[in-house]
A and B are shown apart, each in its own frame.
Chain A
Amino acid sequence: MNDYTNPWLHRLKWAYMLLIVVTLMSPVFYVMYISFNANGFGANEYDFTWEWYGLIFSDKLLMGALGWTMTLAVTTTVIGVPMALLAAKFYKRAQNKVLPVFLLLAPLFVAPDILGSALLVFFKNTNIVFVTLGDALGTGIFDGWFDLGFMTALIGLIIYTIPYSFVVILITMGRYNPEQTEAARSCGATAWQAFWDIEFPQIRAGVFSAASFTLILCFNEYTRTSLLKGGFDTFTTVLISQMLNTGMSEQSYAMSAFVSFVAIAIIGGIIITTMLRAEMLARQHREVAEPAAAN
């Protein structure tokens, strides 16, 4: 039976799909709702307030953690997304695609606690090997390369985010016709010029989407960061320690809601921008195809 013979069935399917999305989001919406209640969770009366949000912004520990989170997220994006781009280009050209696919997608299938534990022990043992090597050579320059800290957390986050960036960029690259690069090269463009002037403008949307996803994923990540970060705190580690130590306080609800608002705003922004861009491109195409009709 097709969708036109029974439009109600079609509508029911749409309703089911939206119901699933709303159900998946319901805990987040509920947290947002509680975060504006002056009386907190479970109270009989609901009094709207911004008070809890004011408290999180005056919390120095939290603001410090926010700074670290942003630095880590931006650094991961600046390094990880170009790496994913290079990997996608390598994959396109590779004769044997199994190895790059395995290496770049396998982190998706390794649970966070398992990857975090494996990297933690790997870094600590590598440090021991490096120090022993330095001692044998009579130098201290190898000491502390992989001490738990910013760099180890960064490596963990790049491994976590690279599969997502890789897939997003690869999907966008699927729409690019490589003959354009060949044409540019035969016109005398260098490899870089052919990439930057011809290919990049066409895959830019994918690269920026990958960058946005990477930023959000890093901002939200907890397990790998907490295992590999060493001394500093990030937004989620502060959130978890507050939740575990004091339970869900009103401030925890406000913090959770705040992070969710930011993530939803970014994704909403991407959806609206892509829709507007698609509309603009369609209009431009119409104008080129039918100049008289466009006027």
Chain B
Amino acid sequence: MDSTTSKAAGGSSVGSLRPSLSETMGKWAFRLPIIFMVVFFALPMALTVVFSVFERTMFWMEPGFSLLAYENFFFSARLNNFLSSMYYSLIAVAICFVLGFPIAVFLRKSVPQVAQHRVVLLFILPFMVSEVIRVFALRPVLQRNGLVNETLMDLGLISEPITALLYSHTGVIIGEVMSFLPFIVFSGFLAMEAVPKYIFEVCDDLGAGTVRRFIDVILPLAAPGIFAGCVFIFVNGLGVALLPNILGGAGAVNAGLIATQAIAALDFPLAMAVSAIMMATLMGLLYIGHRLFDLTKILSPIN
């Protein structure tokens, strides 16, 4: 503390002598990340709309106006694949919510405050292992002679291995749940900050049952965070190509896979059209969420 004080005291002369140039530069330094994100994130994402209407050439694209990429998307099996991936992604969201959100409620309600963050760290553990490894590792677990089938057969619960667990839509849903479940715990945990602990006692005192307490009290209060977590899982279910690529069978194609396949086929306008459609889907969802629940409330615990 002494050194700090002496530095601070000594700093007065330095501070007054130093021209305001450093302060001006400092102000711009704070804006640097925002400028970076505008140039390398917002701009490329917005430009997907522009690039999607460019004319396709043999190996690249050239400026022009063509809706061929959208035609290729909307009037082919791609649209069906996209819609069915939405359906399976929604199932994954529902499973994640049912399995993961009660954990967030339990953490906030019953675990002492000092221990809560440490328990949340436990859910970061699977997330810290590469998704590539976690998804690939599901193959030996789910396949015909894998861990799940062997265990179930050893227990005598099944006589024949279940083959629908892998290379099917079920496999993709299992992959999505295993990959994204921690996020509903994180977002639920943040969302539950909006539900003070005394609420549970008030509900008990007023005689509200568990179901009524959940539907009428917890859900409306925690809605912004729950919605954000669900949107995260939904769009990643639509956009992570690795999941249908590794775990899916015939017909398991999502938007991410359509985009990467288009890039591999050098159809860049189609890849951009898929990206633009995904961005429109995301923006639409966030707009609806914001109108319904005011999503800025999500960060209120941090503020």
Contacts and interface: CB of A to CB of B under 8 A. Distances in A.
- Is the pairing of A and B real? yes
Contacts of B139: 248
Given A118-B45, A121-B272, A236-B130, A110 B8 contact: no
B156 interface: no
A111 interface: yes
25 contacts: A2-B200, A10-B110, A21-B122, A24-B178, A24-B181, A87-B34, A97-B299, A101-B299, A103-B37, A103-B38, A106-B42, A107-B41, A111-B239, A111-B255, A111-B256, A112-B240, A118-B45, A119-B44, A121-B51, A187-B5, A193-B11, A227-B260, A227-B263, A259-B130, A267-B121
Contact of A220 (B130, B137, B178, B303): B130
Interface string B134-162: 10111111000101000000000000000
Given A28-B134, A162-B37, A109 B302 contact: no
Given A90-B34, A117-B263, A174 B303 contact: yes
Interface stretch (B24-32, B73-81, B163-171, B218-226): B24-32
Interface in A246-274: 248, 252, 256, 259-260, 263-264, 266-267, 270-271, 274
A89 B30 contact: yes
Interface residues of A, number: 96
A100 B11 contact: no
Interface in B254-286: 255-257, 259-260, 262-263, 268, 271-272, 274-275, 278-279, 282, 286
B195 interface: no
A174 B273 CA distance: 40
Given A113-B240, A114-B255, A90 B15 contact: no
A84, A89, A124, A263 — which one has the most chain B CB atoms within 10 A of its CB? A263
A198 B4 contact: yes
Interface string A263-290: 1101100110011001000000000000
B33 interface: yes
